[in-house]
């Protein structure tokens, strides 16, 4: 509660002298005092709050005099100063034509002076490419920050010399996705960046070797939701696929296998369990792998869950009559 007559702010604190209260803050004098006994608790307090008021987001952004926090995804980390683009001086007076020409010339040399160092030009080009690829991949800002950090380390070790900036910054994005266990495959990143998958893999191996990065193994369970959303599989079926993957992990058969292929095969078995008419071709296309990979992983998971469908050829679409047999076998396994 604020008293506009005396500019006093009431605080729910007790006086350290009398033990009562309330404690008032005098905004004009910068003092905290007790309203009961008059004891001055603090004096000469600096008010860090803004002197203006804003009721909407637009007013707050217009009146604020601070910028965004420092970021590794900006070539100067957001700490550089810039000349304003206005046509008025600090007192609000309109500048005459000669003064405007002088200010415009100063702005031009200010921009040029910031780009004189080759390191800054390299970072400007690389981080612009980083933001473009991140928008296509739809990754979070934390991954963008981590990718910028990896690229700065690679630039400090001269790994960019003799190589394209696009390949190194794309490899940094893929490394950041792998570190955070974000399900983005090498093919997805290469497609978003527009470079060849072979060049991306070569740059990625270089970054791992020179920067001594340790990458965790991607959990196939994190790929299930992505494949399911592309094919249009329900949440109930996805949960069954997660249980199949958990059983395969405990059996130790998921080690060394492609996570997307394992997730696709588990979803295929879960679809058969629920009677969904989904083919290996559709799941393979959503997972970014071939039908042969889905079929091979399907055979391995079928042995884990003791599934016997009498099919060794791995047809792309199972007959409806066979789905009922498979469904009954899998339901009996999950009830154990």
228 shares a domain with 257? yes
Mean pLDDT of 54-63: 74
Confidence check: pLDDT of 44 > 50: yes
Give pLDDT tens digits for 204-237: 999 999 998 888 877 888 888 888 888 888 888 8
Q: What per-residue confidence (pLDDT) applies to 65?
A: 64
User: Which of 10-14, 15-19, 171-175 holds the top average pLDDT?
Assistant: 171-175
- Cross-strand partners of 10: 24
143 shares a domain with 172? yes
Q: Is residue 10 part of a domain?
A: yes
User: Which of 85-89, 106-110, 186-190 holds the top average pLDDT?
Assistant: 186-190
How many domains does one find in the chain? 3
Mean pLDDT of 12-41: 81
Residue that is written with structure tokens 């981590």 in the block? 146
Q: How confident is the model at residue 134 (pLDDT cuts 50, 70, 90)?
A: very high
Confidence check: pLDDT of 316 > 50: no
Q: What per-residue confidence (pLDDT) applies to 3?
A: 43
Q: The domain spanning residue 234 has which CATH number?
A: 1.10.472.10
Q: Is residue 126 part of a domain?
A: yes
328 shares a domain with 225? yes
230 shares a domain with 174? no
Mean pLDDT of 55-74: 74
- Return the exposure string of 76-105: e unless at least 16 CB atoms fall within 10 Å of the residue's CB, then b: eeeeeeeeeeeeeeeeeeeeeeeeeeebee
Q: Give the residue numbers spanning the domain of 189.
A: 118-211
Q: Is residue 100 part of a domain?
A: no
Least confidently predicted of 56-70, 132-146, 161-175: 56-70
Confidence check: pLDDT of 19 > 90: no
Give pLDDT tens digits for 250-262: 888 777 788 888 8
Q: What per-residue confidence (pLDDT) applies to 173?
A: 94
Q: Is residue 181 part of a domain?
A: yes
Q: How confident is the model at residue 112 (pLDDT cuts 50, 70, 90)?
A: confident
322 shares a domain with 240? yes
Q: What per-residue confidence (pLDDT) applies to 321?
A: 43
159 shares a domain with 185? yes
243 shares a domain with 140? no
Report d(CA 32, CA 88) in Å as an integer: 41
Q: Are 30 and 45 in contact (CB under 8 A)?
A: yes
Report d(CA 320, CA 335) in Å as an integer: 23
324 shares a domain with 234? yes
Q: Is residue 50 part of a domain?
A: no
- Which of the listed residues 211, 240, 265 is the one where a domain comes to its end? 211
Average per-residue pLDDT in the chain? 80
Checking 191-194 for CB contacts under 8 A at 24+ apart, the result is 192/133, 192/136, 192/137, 193/129, 193/133, 193/166, 194/166
- Which of the listed residues 211, 231, 263 is the one where a domain comes to its end? 211
230 shares a domain with 195? no
The widest CA-to-CA distance across the chain, in whole angstroms, is: 91
Q: How many CB atoms sit inside 10 A of residue 250's CB?
A: 10
Confidence check: pLDDT of 176 > 90: yes
């Amino acid at each position: 509660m604020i008293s506009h007559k005396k500019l006093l702010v009431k605080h729910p604190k007790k006086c350290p002298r009398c033990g009562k209260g309330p404690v008032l803050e005098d905004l004009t004098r910068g003092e905290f005092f007790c309203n009961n006994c008059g004891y001055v608790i603090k004096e000469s307090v600096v008010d860090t709050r803004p002197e203006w008021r804003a009721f909407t987001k637009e007013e707050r952004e217009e009146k604020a005099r601070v910028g965004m926090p420092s970021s590794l995804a900006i070539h100067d980390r957001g700490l550089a100063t810039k000349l304003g683009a206005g046509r008025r001086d600090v007192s609000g007076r309109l500048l005459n034509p000669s003064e405007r020409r002088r200010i415009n010339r100063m702005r031009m040399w200010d921009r040029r002076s910031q780009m004189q160092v080759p390191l800054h030009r390299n970072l400007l080009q690389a981080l612009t490419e980083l933001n473009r690829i991140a928008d296509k991949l739809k990754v979070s800002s934390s991954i963008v920050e981590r990718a910028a950090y990896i690229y700065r380390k690679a630039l400090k070790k001269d790994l960019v010399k003799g190589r394209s900036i696009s390949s190194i910054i794309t490899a940094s994005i893929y490394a950041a996705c792998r570190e955070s266990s974000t399900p983005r495959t090498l093919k997805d990143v290469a497609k978003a960046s527009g470079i060849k998958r072979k060049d991306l893999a070569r740059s990625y191996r270089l970054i791992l070797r020179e920067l001594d990065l340790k990458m965790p193994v991607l959990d196939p369970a994190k790929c299930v939701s992505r494949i399911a959303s592309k094919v249009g599989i329900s949440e109930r079926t996805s949960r069954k696929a997660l249980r199949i993957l958990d059983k395969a992990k405990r059996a130790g058969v998921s080690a060394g296998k492609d996570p997307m292929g394992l997730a696709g095969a588990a979803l295929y078995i879960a679809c058969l369990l629920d009677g969904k008419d989904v083919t290996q071709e559709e799941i393979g296309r959503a997972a970014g792998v071939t039908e042969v990979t889905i079929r091979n992983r399907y055979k391995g998971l079928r042995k884990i869950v003791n599934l016997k469908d009498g099919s060794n050829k791995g047809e792309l679409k199972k007959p409806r009559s066979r789905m009922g047999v498979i469904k009954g076998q899998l339901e009996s396994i999950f009830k154990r």
